[in-house]
Structure 1
Amino acid sequence: MALIVLFSTFSYTVKQHYCCDVLVDFSFFGEAESCNIEGSNLMYSDGTGFSKKDCCEDELLAVDGQDKLNITFESLSFEQLQFLASYAYSFLNLFVKSTDNNTSFNTYPPPLLVKDILILDQTFLI
């Protein structure tokens, strides 16, 4: 349960550097390194003339975690509080060692053998 809470509140950012639509570097911590190509400004034609285009591109992928985990006891109903209290009480009493060794059959002898049943039924071990 703790891992689920940890991963649902975890935020991270991935920085990626592309050069000519090819992934060059990515980084979870810090900045992604650029490719430092000298001819990174390429000329392309858009039909009206030539213009410069940078072939390098940086992308940023950010995943925000959940930060609203403040559950208060005021928002719980009476039945939920009653269940929570009974569950906590029964769970904590699972680990209490019982010291009662009250076995009442220790003072009574077993009944007397009136007839030998094995001989009456003629069942013998061979």
Structure 2
Amino acid sequence: MKETLHQIVSVTMALLVLFSTMSFTVDMHYCGDLLVDYSFFETADGCDMNASPSGITDGDSVMEMDCCTDLEIVLEGQDDLKISFDQFNFEQQIFISTFYYTYVNLFETVDKNLISFKEYSPPLLIRDIQILDQTFLI
């Protein structure tokens, strides 16, 4: 259960970093109030209503019908996530290295089959006490 929770949190954090650093653009083309085209990766196609009609002229000026608008939504991601180790002063570097060393050694595993008398020899047998006291295990 603990490993599954750890994997879920790891994947969530990786996706959070990915989406916070990723930038994307949405390009939309409207004709009046109607959305005609949208695109995520390239410019949206227009509806060719931006061109002025060729038959309508008013003297020397050309009358233009411009009812279309282009809307571009840009979401910039972060670019300053990498912090180099040389930006810290000497005291901060010593503190970080000491903290890392003590944190890693804090969770050092202890051998549970520790035999404290392994290096010692048994006492010398001068007399067999069980035979002298006539005590036997049956």
TM-score, normalising length: structure 2: 0.49
Alignment match, 1:8: 20
Identify the range of structure 1 (12-21 vs 94-103) with the bigger mean alpha-carbon deviation: 94-103
Distance in structure 1 (CA, Å) of the matches to 2:82 and 2:97: 19
Answering whether residue 105 of structure 2 is matched by residue 93 of structure 1, we say yes
Match of 1:67 among 69, 72, 79: 79
Structure 1 residue 3 displacement after superposition: 4.2
Aligned residues: 97
Query: Which deviations, in whole Å up to 9, do the C-alpha atoms of 1:78-101 show, x marking residues without a partner?
Result: 343233223322443355432154
Determine if contact 2:52/2:63 at 8 Å carries over to the other structure: no
Question: Which stretches in structure 1 are left out of the alignment for 5+ residues?
Answer: 43-48, 105-126
Matches within 5 A, 1:1-126: 1-35=13-47, 51-93=63-105, 96-99=108-111, 101-102=113-114
Deviation readout 1:24-65 (Å, 9 max, x if unpaired): 23221233243466x9868xxxxxx98322222222222222
| TM-score in terms of structure 1 length | 0.53
Gaps of 5+ in 2: 1-12, 54-60, 117-138
In 1, are the aligned partners of 2:23 and 2:76 still within 8 Å (CA)? Answer: yes
Relative distance call for 1:33 and 1:89 in structure 2 (3 A) is same
